[in-house]
């Protein structure tokens, strides 16, 4: 099944493919990482790799909120949810993430009171409606979602709500990028920067990548042409020997980000000394916890949380996929034991996960557009 010509402005895509191909130095290999799972999804949905010459490889980054949740945290959450006085609330994406003893969905089917919510504000309403129960919000996500949790906590505090708390698993994108840059496994040439995270944090936090590591970064929008345009901008920088942060998505992302959500996060949360990421291991200062001032809303303090570290299932190679060392289909269980219906690893759970994107759009074999095939030829 081919999706390649489905999207609008296919002519522009072909023109960009030709411009990208023209920038490839003969004999040089390029590895570009798209940090955000939303970008991964667009790339597979639209077969954008078919627009790129063989010498450019797109590496799928860790920017998928549920993909990076380690199994131990799922088990901790499950432990909280199993308390009879607790109502656990969670985003839909999180419901299928497997812990050592099944997922939230499995537990719910067995009678545990776990409710799916669209927004943390929905959890707040559940807390108001159930004053005799303790409502815990399973907070996950990067700087796009952390402000929503923060604002919800501020609201709960203003209302004086006593039975709402947060099991905080928010992570921050910059330390994960740094860990990848410092990883010996992988040599990257540039980054397609996340779009929605950057509406909050802006473009400045990426400057160290350009300055200290000499790699270009282009913050990109989510449409197919946005991504091709961003790849072109990265290739142009590389061909000119530049490494800068550029903003392809300036129509939505302000260079300086948005101070309101940053302040809300800063008011309610602080950095943890370290946090475990699935596949990436422990990364220092890479996640948020509830500030002491809001300890009455910190589920980790209110309840006993086992905090046991659980190794990922042996068969699962999400770690290698998240670091971009393996392509999803190179994993031993891809599409056989591990499918979106019965995921073993987190990358198969979320539509933003690289494995689910590959599985849904079946892109094991590439068929390049003519402009990309001609790369490096006279």
Partner 1 sequence: MCLGIPGEVIELHPEQPDLAKVSVSGVKRLINIGLLADDPPKPGEWVLIHVGFALSKIDEAEAAAAMAFLEGIGQAYEDEIAALRESLIE
Q: Which residues bind partner 1 (CB under 8 A)?
A: 6-8, 37-38, 41-42, 45, 64-65, 91-94, 116-122, 125-126, 140-141, 144-145, 147-148, 151, 196, 199-200, 222-223, 251-253, 258-261, 264, 350-352
Question: Using CA atoms, how far apart are residues 256 and 239, in angstroms rounded to an integer?
Answer: 27
Question: Using CA atoms, how far apart are residues 358 and 263, in angstroms rounded to an integer?
Answer: 37
Is residue 99 within 8 A of residue 312, CB to CB? The reply is: no
Residue 8 or 204: which CB sits closer to partner 1?
8
Strands laid side by side in the 30-36 sheet: 56-63, 30-36, 190-193, 217-219, 245-247
> In the complex, what is the shortest distance from the CB of residue 141 to partner 1, in angstroms, rounded to a whole number?
7
3-state secondary structure of 145: coil
Residue 43 or 375: which CB sits closer to partner 1?
43
State the Cα torsion 213-218-222-225 to the nearest 10°: -130
Question: Using CA atoms, how far apart are residues 335 and 329, in angstroms rounded to an integer?
Answer: 8
Residue 116 or 310: which CB sits closer to partner 1?
116
Is residue 134 within 8 A of residue 87, CB to CB? The reply is: yes
Is residue 40 within 8 A of residue 34, CB to CB? The reply is: yes
Is residue 189 within 8 A of residue 157, CB to CB? The reply is: no
3-state secondary structure of 41: helix
Residue 26 or 118: which CB sits closer to partner 1?
118
The CA distances from residue 92 to 96, 114, 119, 171, in Å, are: 8, 11, 10, 18
> In the complex, what is the shortest distance from the CB of residue 53 to partner 1, in angstroms, rounded to a whole number?
25
Residue 68 or 238: which CB sits closer to partner 1?
68
Residue 124 or 180: which CB sits closer to partner 1?
124
> In the complex, what is the shortest distance from the CB of residue 195 to partner 1, in angstroms, rounded to a whole number?
8
Residue 118 or 377: which CB sits closer to partner 1?
118
Question: Using CA atoms, how far apart are residues 133 and 128, in angstroms rounded to an integer?
Answer: 10
> In the complex, what is the shortest distance from the CB of residue 214 to partner 1, in angstroms, rounded to a whole number?
30
CA 125 to chain centre: 27
Please tell me the total number of residues recorded for the chain in this structure.
378
Is residue 155 within 8 A of residue 122, CB to CB? The reply is: no
Element (H, E) at 193: strand 190-193
> In the complex, what is the shortest distance from the CB of residue 12 to partner 1, in angstroms, rounded to a whole number?
13
> In the complex, what is the shortest distance from the CB of residue 26 to partner 1, in angstroms, rounded to a whole number?
35
> In the complex, what is the shortest distance from the CB of residue 272 to partner 1, in angstroms, rounded to a whole number?
21
The two structure tokens encoding residue 187: 């040599």
State the Cα torsion 88-94-98-100 to the nearest 10°: -40
Residue 64 or 71: which CB sits closer to partner 1?
64
Question: Using CA atoms, how far apart are residues 7 and 140, in angstroms rounded to an integer?
Answer: 32
Residue 70 or 141: which CB sits closer to partner 1?
141
> In the complex, what is the shortest distance from the CB of residue 114 to partner 1, in angstroms, rounded to a whole number?
15
> In the complex, what is the shortest distance from the CB of residue 261 to partner 1, in angstroms, rounded to a whole number?
5
Question: Using CA atoms, how far apart are residues 124 and 133, in angstroms rounded to an integer?
Answer: 12
> In the complex, what is the shortest distance from the CB of residue 224 to partner 1, in angstroms, rounded to a whole number?
8
How many C-beta neighbours within 10 Å does residue 126 have? 17
Residue 24 or 171: which CB sits closer to partner 1?
171
């Amino acid at each position: 099944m081919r999706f390649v010509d489905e999207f609008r402005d296919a002519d522009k895509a072909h023109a960009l493919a030709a411009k990208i191909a023209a920038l490839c130095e003969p004999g040089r290999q390029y590895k570009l990482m798209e940090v955000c799972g939303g970008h991964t999804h667009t790339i597979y949905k639209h077969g954008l790799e078919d627009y790129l010459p063989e010498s450019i490889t797109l590496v799928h980054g860790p920017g998928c909120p549920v993909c990076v949740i380690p199994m131990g945290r799922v088990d901790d959450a499950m432990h909280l949810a199993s308390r009879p006085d607790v109502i656990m609330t969670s985003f839909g994406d999180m419901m299928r993430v497997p812990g050592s003893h099944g997922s939230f969905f499995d537990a719910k089917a067995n009678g545990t009171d776990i409710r799916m919510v669209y927004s943390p504000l929905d959890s707040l309403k559940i807390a108001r409606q159930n004053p005799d129960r303790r409502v815990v919000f399973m907070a996950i996500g990067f700087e796009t979602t952390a402000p929503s949790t923060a604002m919800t906590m501020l609201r709960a505090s203003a209302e004086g709500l006593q039975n709402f708390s947060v099991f905080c698993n928010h992570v921050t994108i910059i330390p994960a990028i740094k860990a990848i840059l410092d990883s010996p496994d992988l040599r990257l040439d540039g980054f397609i920067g996340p779009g929605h995270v950057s509406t909050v944090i802006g473009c400045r936090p990426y400057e160290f990548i350009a300055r200290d590591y000499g790699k270009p970064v282009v913050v990109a929008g989510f449409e197919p042409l946005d991504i091709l345009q961003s790849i072109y901008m990265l290739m142009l920088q590389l061909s000119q020997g530049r490494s800068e942060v550029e903003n392809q998505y300036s129509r939505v992302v302000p260079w300086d980000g948005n101070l309101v959500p940053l302040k809300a996060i800063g008011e309610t949360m602080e950095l943890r000394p370290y946090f475990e990421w699935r596949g990436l291991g422990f990364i220092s200062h890479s996640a948020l916890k509830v500030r002491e001032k809001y300890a009455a809303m910190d589920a980790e303090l209110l309840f006993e949380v086992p905090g046991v570290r659980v190794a990922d299932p042996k068969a699962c190679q999400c770690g290698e996929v998240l670091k971009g060392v393996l392509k999803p289909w190179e994993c031993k269980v891809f599409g056989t034991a591990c499918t979106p219906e019965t995921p073993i690893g987190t990358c198969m759970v979320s539509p933003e996960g690289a494995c689910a994107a590959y599985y849904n759009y079946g892109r094991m074999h590439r068929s390049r557009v003519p402009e990309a095939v001609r790369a490096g030829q006279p």
